[in-house]
Amino acid sequence: MNWLYSFSRTEIIFIGLFISLYFIYIWRTFRLAHQLNTSAWGVIPKFFLRGSYLALLIIALLGPSFGEAEGDLSTTGRDTFLIVDISRSMDAGDVVPTRLEHTKYNIQQLCDTLPAERFGVVLASSEPFVLSPLTTDQEALKQFIREVHTNISATGGTDLCNAIELARQKLLVDPSTQRSVKAIVLFSDGENFAACERSTLSRLRTAGIPLITVGVGTEGGASIREGRDFVRDNDRQIVRSRLNRQFLQELARNSRGQYVEADANGRYINELAQVIRGLKGQNTSQGTLAVSTNKYYYFLLAALGFIALDLIITIRTFRL
C-alpha cells in the first residue's frame, strides 16, 4: 500500500489529544462510579468504537493507494528555436531596463513555464548565429541568455529574415526533430535593415513551422544611450527607435503564425506559453501507465458506519 501523504506530527498530535482527553473522561467516570458505589465499565466499548473510527478517518486523510489502474500515456515533443534581436535598437529604454534585458528575463520565465520543452537560441544580427542548439538543459540555456548583449554585433544592424532562415534549417536538419512539433519564436522590436524574401516565409509554411513574433518596445519609442550621449544620425539628430508592430504582424501572418506583444510586467509569457502548448503535431511516444489509485473512500465509509453505530447503540454507563 502506498500513501498520498506521509504520517506527520499533526496526526500524532490529534491522536495524542484524543487518547489523553478520553482517558481523563474515563478516569472521571470511574471516579464518579466509585462515589456512587457502582460500575462504569460501559464506557470501555465506546472508547474502542470511537478510537476505531478516528483511526479510519486518519487513514482516509493520508490517502491510501493500492491496486493498479492502467491508462494510455502519450507525449508530444516540442522543439522551439528562440530568435533574439541583438541590434542596437534593443538597447532602447522604453521597456525597463532595456528591450534586450527585458527579453532576456522573459525568456528565462518562459523556460520556467515550459520546463519539459527543448529550446535553442539564435541571435539575430547582421550575421545571425546559433548561441545554443536545441537542448533540454534549460539551466545552461538560461546562463547563455544572461551573457547576451548588443555589443556582440560589430555593426549594430540586424537581418531578421536571415535569422529566421537559419533557425528553419537547424530545425529541419536535426534528426531528433523529425517527429516533434517545431516552432520559431522571434523577439524583436521589428527594425529590420534587410529585405525579407517571400520564399523564406513560404518555406516555413511548407515545413509546417509557425513563426511566433513577439513585439518588444512601444510605439512612442525611446532614444538609445551611447556612453554619456545618445545614438545620432548623420545630421547629428538623436535617433528614436520605435516598435514596428506592422512588420512583425506581417511576418507572423505570412508564416501562419501568431503575433504577441510584450508588456512591461511580462504577463504575456503565459499567453506565449499557451500558444506553444497549443501547437499540434504527432505523438512522440505512447505507452501504458500502471498507477495505484487513492482508495480513501473505503476507509471513510467504514468510519461513517462506526459513527452511525455510535449514535444508534446506547450503552449504560453506570450499573445502579
Q: Are 60 and 303 in contact (CB under 8 A)?
A: yes
User: Minimal CA–CA distance to 107: which of 66, 57, 147?
Assistant: 147
pLDDT band with cut points at 50, 70 and 90 for residue 311: confident
- Residue 229 to residue 220: CA distance in whole angstroms: 20
**In a 3-state reduction of DSSP, which class is residue 33?**
helix
Q: Are 82 and 166 in contact (CB under 8 A)?
A: no
The tally of CA atoms less than 13 A away on the side-chain side of residue 245 is 8
The pLDDT of 278-302, averaged and rounded, is 68
pLDDT for 140-181, tens place per residue? Answer: 999 999 999 986 555 556 889 999 999 999 999 999 888 889
Q: Can you say whether residue 37 is alpha, beta or left, with left for phi > 0 and alpha for psi between -120 and 50 degrees? A: left
Q: Which CATH architecture has domain 77-277?
A: 3-Layer(aba) Sandwich (3.40)
The pLDDT of 28-38, averaged and rounded, is 80
What sign results for the dihedral spanned by CA atoms 169, 171, 175, 180?
negative
- Residue 307 to residue 303: CA distance in whole angstroms: 6
Q: In a 10 Å sphere around its CB, with 0-12 CB exposed, 13-18 middle and 19+ buried, how is residue 180 labelled?
A: buried
Q: Could you tell me which residue, 291 or 253, shows the higher pLDDT?
A: 253
Q: Which DSSP letter does residue 239 get?
A: P
pLDDT band with cut points at 50, 70 and 90 for residue 228: confident
pLDDT for 111-145, tens place per residue? Answer: 999 998 999 999 998 889 999 999 999 999 999 99
What sign results for the dihedral spanned by CA atoms 60, 63, 67, 72?
positive
- The pTM score is 0.66
Q: Are 205 and 256 in contact (CB under 8 A)?
A: yes
Span of 90-104, 167-181, 301-315 with lowest mean pLDDT = 301-315
H/E segment holding residue 186: strand 181-188
pLDDT at 317: 59
Q: Are 90 and 99 in contact (CB under 8 A)?
A: yes
**Per-domain boundaries in the chain:** 2-70+291-312, 77-277
